[in-house]
Amino acid sequence: MAVLVTGGAGYIGSHTVAELLAKNEEVVIVDNLEQGHREAVLGGKLYVGDIRDKDFLDTVFRENAIDAVIHFAANSLVGESMQNPAKYYHNNVYGTLCLLEKMNEHGVNKIVFSSTAAAYGEPENIPILETDRTLPTNAYGETKLAMENMMKWFDAAHGIKYVSLRYFNAAGAHESGRIGEDHDPETHLVPIILQVALGQRPHISVFGEDYATPDGTCIRDYIHVSDLADAHILAVKKLLRGGESRIYNLGNGIGFSVKEVIEIARQVTGHPIPAVVEARRAGDPAVLVASSERTREELGWRPKRDRLERIIASAWAWHQSRPTGYEA
Ligand code: UFG
């Protein structure tokens, strides 16, 4: 099969490209390299350009016989989306509109979409089911939900089948050590903790200790980026077998508090990792933990790297070998 991966030079996109290449699939990558890294693309055919550029998309679809699209290209920072929602509506929502229009024009009718737990907002129940209420508490989650809904109507009107994968907290790095997480600026908990262990930051700031959780810090469901990547490939295959449109959660179903994550990172790195409690960060729900039962049953997905020690150890190997990330 030939798969077009938008955002394939980014963190989760590059790990998915790596898994596709390992399975000898034909891969075409589109990335504007705003956040992605050329070096993170381990193979396939890379087109540097923006999904909002329709002529560019025409070229990509004309030059390649694409069977399915995996769509990662988007902005994904909760905090930034609250300061600059226009950026999120433009890149995420309008970008997806351009992509779906061009898929329809070029007769490509299967898409796997990278959605988010942020689509739920403050959860009604833990673990969160796909059927639970979606009421985002930030602009980022709102745009991802709008993208999902857009796909629903493109399916109804044009028969474009989609699988939307709602990720919980992606972490870790490819076990080859060749690719990993490198954001600028970095805002995610695990890489920031590891930057402290590398001596690049004096301490980790714990955002709030007064949540209604056992130790007062927020609880999240951390999932290895390569387990996420595996799920995308299963989803593409399901669509290519004629599967219907569907939404799936991707998490391990086990929550860890911020303090627990720091403690495990201390064990993995052997570094004391000083922590300083600060004020809450706006828009953070207290607990986000997934039920991925549907994903296991219907996609046959089995996370293989689900222990948090292993997730953090893989990230630590990457950060130690590439302390400043990819080449500029
Ligand atoms: N945190 C800290 N200190 C830091 C960074 C984070 O205490 O320096 C805390 C956050 O407040 C939060 C937890 O660590 O409680 C995890 O924060 P991240 O920024 O790593 O991840 P988020 O849970 O905010 O968001 C991530 C993705 C989103 C996605 C969400 C779904 O970035 O795109 O998971 O769970 F929507």
For 193-231, how does the pLDDT look when each residue is reduced to its tens digit (9 = 90+)? 999 999 999 999 999 999 999 999 999 999 999 999 999
Residue to mutate, 78, 134, 225, 311, ligand 1, most ligand atoms under 8 Å from C-beta = 78
Dihedral pair phi/psi, residue 121, rounded to 5°? 75, -145
Check if 78 has its Cβ closer than 6 Å to any atom of ligand 1: yes
* Whether residue 288 has its Cβ less than 6 Å from ligand 1: yes
Ligand 1 centre to CA of 163 (Å) is 24
225-276 tens-digit pLDDT: 999 999 999 999 999 999 999 999 999 999 999 999 999 999 999 999 999 9
Positions annotated as catalytic residues are 140
Residue 132 DSSP symbol: S
Percent of residues in the chain assigned helix, strand, coil, to nearest 5: 40, 20, 40
* Per-residue pLDDT, 159: 98
- Burial letters for 59-79: b for 16+ Cβ neighbours within 10 Å, e otherwise? ebbeebebbbbbbbbbbbbbe
The whole-number pLDDT of residue 328 equals 63
State residue 327's pLDDT score: 84
Parts of the chain with a pLDDT under 50: none
Which pLDDT value is given to residue 150? 98
With both helix axes pointing from N to C terminus, report the angle between 139-158 and 95-105 in degrees, rounded to the nearest 10. 20
pLDDT for residue 282? 82
Buried/exposed code over 115-141 (b: 16+ C-beta within 10 A; e: otherwise) = bbbbbbbebeebbbebebebebbbbbb
What pLDDT is attached to residue 79? 86
Regarding an ipTM greater than 0.90, the answer is yes
Q: What are the structural domains of the chain?
A: 2-171+222-250 (3.40.50.720), 189-220+253-321 (3.90.25.10)
What's the pLDDT at 283? 79
Ligand 1 test: best mutation among 82, 166, 189, 219, most atoms within 8 Å of CB?
A: 189
